[in-house]
Structure 1
Amino acid sequence: MPNTLEATVDISASPEQVWRVISDPKRMPEFSPTTKRMIPLGSPGAGTWTINLNRVEGKYVYPTTSRIVRYVPNQAFAFRMLENGVVWSYTLEPIETGTRLIERRDVPNGVRKPVRMLINSFLGGEQKFEAELVRGMNETLERIKTVVER
């Protein structure tokens, strides 16, 4: 399984406008097809913990916890999942027509064997699982784009 997945969208709005939409973790369920809840334990910022409720393929619902590891207004928002060490990030880059928003999934320490076994046993295997993640990332970015450009 690759350590990094990435999706990108160009949005016709300033980084400040995009940041106002993506910087509140409570809004993540509006955009992500796999997030049912993301509740920050305090004001969002680097170091803030979140409690999350996620779903996979409409079949499984499971809780996770994460910690915001990067929170730079108008530039970047990232959180690390406690359970598997995966880092999800959103990077805003100013471009001539507005903002390029990049969503990434990084697995800095690789996928642990128990997680790989779960993916293979319950989620159709690594290729199918990652294809679904990328599809969800693109869907997330398109939803953000729609909201920001309204």
Structure 2
Amino acid sequence: MEWTGVRYADKPTVEVRRHIAASPERVWELVSDIALMPTLSAELESVAWLDGATSPALGARFLGRSTHQALGEWETTSYVVEYDPPRVFAWAVADPGRPSAIWRFSLEARDDGGTVLTQWMQMGPGRSGLSFAIDRMPEKEQKIVFVRMREFEQSITATLDAIRELAEGTEGTAA
């Protein structure tokens, strides 16, 4: 992916796909389980449903706590903005009308019984913790965005690989 010269206001995106030898229903069980996500992420520390919710539903909210060596610790409230089992699960971070990020899992059934799993994210348009770094060093905005997008790409890749291992039952085996 190419983010050279990209600014935060451009709402940069990352998208990674994986073919998984498991049914969409099996993959859906994993991607819609927000409690699983912190175990797959180096940045996301914990998540908890809010308002009595216990599972995803359109409009449901959850609290996420994250940490990053350069950005510190923070928490955000996310809102489920797309929910179509077993095809799409997406959430907007902070303000659903002007989110600091949007995250989406999309699942597509394959003819062989497997699944194409795509994870996509968009940074912005609402302000985020990265906005404060850009405010402090506006002359480095493009580099800051580039580095963060590369981090997101690496994180998403690791998450999808872990989901594939769990879905295919190959966790802990040699590739």
- Structures share fold, TM-score greater than 0.5: yes
2:104 maps to 89
| In structure 1, distance between residues paired with 2:72 and 2:13 | 24
Distance 1:53 1:117 in 2: 18
Contact 1:37-1:54 at 8 Å conserved across structures: yes
**Structure 2 unaligned blocks of 5 or more:** 1-5, 170-175
> Is it true that 1:55 corresponds to 2:67 in the alignment?
yes
- TM-score, normalised via structure 2 length: 0.75
Gaps of 5+ in 1: none
The residue that corresponds to 1:8 in the other structure is: 17
Report the CA distance between 1:127 and its aligned residue: 1.1
User: In structure 1, what is the equivalent of residue 38 of structure 2?
Assistant: 29
CA RMSD of aligned residues (A): 2.6
Measured after TM superposition, the shift of residue 120 of structure 1 is: 7.5
Aligned counterparts, 1:115-134, within 5 A: 115-118=130-133, 125-134=144-153
Q: Specify the code of the residue in structure 2 equivalent to 1:146.
A: E
TM normalised by structure 1 equals: 0.86
How many residues matched? 149
Taking every aligned residue pair, what percent have the same amino acid on both sides?
26
**Alignment partner, residue 29 of structure 2:** 20
Matches within 5 A, 1:43-82: 43=54, 44-57=56-69, 60-82=72-94
Once residues 157 and 16 of structure 2 are traced to their aligned partners in structure 1, the CA distance between those partners, rounded to angstroms, is: 6
Q: For the pair shown, which has the larger CA radius of gyration, 1 or 2?
A: 2
